[in-house]
Amino acid sequence: MATQLHIYDNWIYFINAEDEFSLYKMDLNGNDVQSVHAEFTTDLAVYNNQLIISSSEEERDLKTIIRDTPGNYHSTIMNEEMRDLVKWADYYYYIGENEGLYRVKTTLESEPEVLVEYNISNFTIMEQGIFYSLYRRSSMYLEEDNGVYQMDFEGKESLSIKSMIQ
C-alpha cells in the first residue's frame, strides 16, 4: 500500500507500507521503482529540490530531515515529528506535539511557535490565512469538534467560519 503520494519532477514519491514504511519513488508510468529512504517514515513533503521527511531509525526516535531529491544530501532539521508540514513564505507550518499547530522559520534560527495548542485535525494555508479544524478525544472514540476555523498567519484573530453540528 502506498501512502503520502507526492509528485515532483516526473517522479511519484510515496511511503511504502508494505516495506516497513520506507520511502520510495517511481516514474509517472509506475516503472523504475527505487528506494529513497530505508527508515520508518511517518510523513513526507516535497518542495523544490527537497524532500522533508519525518522518520526514525528506531520506532520512538522520530526526527525530521531535509533530503535533496537525488538522495545525496540530508540534514536533520528537528528532533521531533513534523506532520502535515507546509512551507509558506519564510516558515514551516506543521502539526507536532499534542497535535498542536506550530510554525518555525525555514532558516531554523528560532524556536517553534505554538499557533494552536492542541487537537488540530487538519489545516491548509492560503493567501487569506490558515484554515483548520479541531477534534477532541472522548473516552470511547474520536469525536469531531464544532466547525472550521480561520486565523491569520501569526495564530491570532481566530474565528469560527462554519459550525458543523446543528
Report how far residue 82's alpha carbon sits from residue 140's, in angstroms, rounded to the nearest whole number: 27
Which helix (H) or strand (E) segment is 166 a member of? none
**Among candidates 87, 123, 97, 88, which has minimal Cα distance to 134?**
123
What is the topology classification, in CATH, of domain 2-163?
Neuraminidase (2.120.10)
Q: Quick one: residue 16, left, alpha or beta (phi over 0 = left, psi -120 to 50 = alpha)? A: beta
**pLDDT tens digit sequence for 4-31:** 888 988 999 999 988 888 889 999 999 9
Compute the distance between CA of residue 99 and CA of residue 116 in angstroms, rounded to an integer. 9
Cell 521531533 -> residue? 80
Residue in 14, 17, 20, 91 with CA at minimum distance from that of residue 53: 14
Place of cell 516526473: 10
pLDDT in tens, 131-144: 998 876 544 444 55
Given a cut of 60, is residue 96 above it in pLDDT?
Answer: yes
**Domain residue ranges of the chain, discontinuous segments joined by +:** 2-163
